[in-house]
Amino acid sequence: DGGITQSPKYLFRKEGQNVTLSCEQNLNHDAMYWYRQDPGQGLRLIYYSQIVNDFQKGDIAEGYSVSREKKESFPLTVTSAQKNPTAFYLCASSNQGLTGHTIYFGEGSWLTVV
Amino acid sequence: GENVEQHPSTLSVQEGDSAVIKCTYSDSASNYFPWYKQELGKGPQLIIDIRSNVGEKKDQRIAVTLNKTAKHFSLHITETQPEDSAVYFCAAVDSSYKLIFGSGTRLLVRP
């Protein structure tokens, strides 16, 4: 099936640890994104990438890092510098970047700090 | 930058009635306005979108209207069904080509 696959679905992190969330798409989309969603809230952009080997910070990039070594993959690392990482993380992709083209989302990953 | 406001935050309707969710945006250069439906614990799903060169778009029971002069757009759901219950988000593309989301509307359709 074509789509966006996020893993793991649920992840628990101890304070002080880095964790990496995986996002893979087989839609051949150029652009990929990471959003954070807190309970009962909207979506906030963490990082985005319009092309392989290039990415830009979104509105809440502090404490996060990404890489885009392959077109189909855009992993997000939540570092220990992120003071309040417990949230629902959503990966998305679109076929021609941010200029008004349709963005599709994965099913999300729940991260909880214990 | 772009700011998107969405109202109401919660909406409860009787099955079969219509539901209307409204959004306003601030960047007059925005030209793409999608609507997403999000069920509990899942990723948002695109349900309809509209571009700035049209004023209205319909897809079965769902329609979206756009007023560029007033900088607002609305989602209309007719003949609501219990499975329409979810959180709905509007969004707009800002001048730096990022998608900015509204804060969401929790729709409850009462059987």
- Give per-residue pLDDT as tens, B56-82: 999 999 999 999 999 999 999 999 999
Q: How far is B79 from chain A (nearest CA, A)?
A: 26
pLDDT of residue B33: 94
- Count of Cβ atoms closer than 10 Å to residue A109 Cβ: 23
pLDDT of residue A49: 92
pLDDT band, residue B91 (cuts 50/70/90): very high
pLDDT of residue A58: 92
pLDDT at B18 over 80: yes
* Chains A–B, number of C-beta pairs less than 8 Å apart: 55
Chain B residues within 8 A (CB-CB) of chain A?
A: 31-32, 34, 36, 41-46, 49, 51, 89, 93, 96-99, 101-104
Reduced to 3 states (helix: H, G, I; strand: E, B; else coil), residue B84 is helix
Cβ-Cβ contacts under 8 Å, A102 against chain B: 34, 46, 49
pLDDT at B96 over 60: yes
B31 burial level (CB within 10 Å; 0-12, 13-18, 19+): middle
Average pLDDT on A72-77 reads: 98
Average pLDDT on A3-20 reads: 93
Given B42, B46, B102, which is nearest A42 (Cβ)?
B102
pLDDT of residue B31: 87
Q: Which of B87, B101, B106 to mutate to test the interface with A (most CBs of A within 10 A)?
A: B101
pLDDT of residue B38: 96
**Rounded mean pLDDT of chain B?**
93
HEC sequence for chain A: CCCEEEECCEEEECCCCCEEEEEEECCCCCEEEEEEECCCCCEEEEEEEEECCEEEECCCCCCEEECCCECCECCEEECCCCCCCCEEEEEEEECCCCCCCCEEECCCEEEEEC
Chain A residues within 8 A (CB-CB) of chain B?
A: 4, 6, 33, 40-45, 48, 58, 90, 92, 97-108, 110
- Count of Cβ atoms closer than 10 Å to residue B25 Cβ: 23
